[in-house]
Amino acid sequence: MVDNAREAAHRAASDAEQIAWVDEHDNLLGGLVRSDLRERGLIGRGTYIMLFNSAGELCVHRRTLSKAIYPGFWDVAAGGMVQADETYAESAARELEEELGVSGVELTAHDHFYFEDSESRLWCSAFSAVWDGPLILQPEEVLEARFIPVDQVLEEIQQKPYCPDSLAALKRYLKAQENHVAKEA
């Protein structure tokens, strides 16, 4: 278990990162400190990586209580804010390794969409990957993680707090998968 001082120091460093600042069309305007972007209600870029195992189960994890947005919520995707000097794909690979200790996997890009709620305004890129190895959780950001069937995830979102931004990514992913299967039938 991580101590509160270490978690607070991580949060402060995270809030000071230079994040990609974009307009309503996802054109890069520059870099801004994460906390400034959030406080001013400006638009950033975010990545969402849905990690599946070869059995088709989805990795869900619980965020630490020190997270600025959705503390303690369950999450269906690793991911985070794109730094000012990164592409979406670079950010996705970095975030997957940082949060869950997964690297060297093929990331499949799925979707690019805009998300907005009372907590954030983001242009989002969603990816997926398959991993059957061990998870190495980043203790400053992830309390616990487990692989569960997608049907169970869809049941849990009715009873537990799940991050709405990553749920949007998952729902769009599942709808695209349904459409793909329907086209092949």
How do residues 114-161 score in pLDDT, each as one tens digit?
999 988 999 999 999 999 999 999 998 999 999 999 999 999 999 999
Annotated ligand binding at 155? The verdict is no
The DSSP bridge pattern shows strands 108-116 and 121-130 to be: antiparallel
Number of domains forming the structure of the chain: 1
Those residues with Cβ within 8 angstroms of residue 182's Cβ, 6 or more apart along the chain or in another chain = none
The four Cα atoms 153, 155, 158, 161 give a dihedral, to 10 degrees, of: -30
Q: What is the pTM of this model?
A: 0.90
Which residues on adjacent β-strands are paired with residue 31? 20
CA distances from 25 to 21, 67, 147 (A): 11, 27, 35
- Residue 80's contacts (CB-CB under 8 Å, 6 or more residues apart) are 46, 47, 91, 95, 98, 99
**pLDDT reading at 185 higher than 70:** no
Is residue 104's pLDDT more than 80? yes
What does the block give as tokens for 76?
Answer: 């269906």
Q: What is the mean pLDDT of residues 40-58?
A: 97
SS3 74: strand
Q: What residues contact 171, with CB distance under 8 A and at least 6 apart?
A: none
Percent residues over pLDDT 90 in the chain: 79
For 106, other C-beta atoms within 10 Å of its C-beta total: 8
95 labelled ligand-binding: yes
CATH number at residue 134: 3.90.79.10
- Mean pLDDT is lowest, of 28-32, 63-67, 80-84, 126-130, for 63-67
Where in the sequence is the domain holding 32, given as residue range(s)?
4-184
| Pick from 55, 28, 82: nearest CA to 151 | 55
Mean predicted lDDT score pLDDT of the chain: 92
Over 90: is that where the pLDDT of 181 sits? no
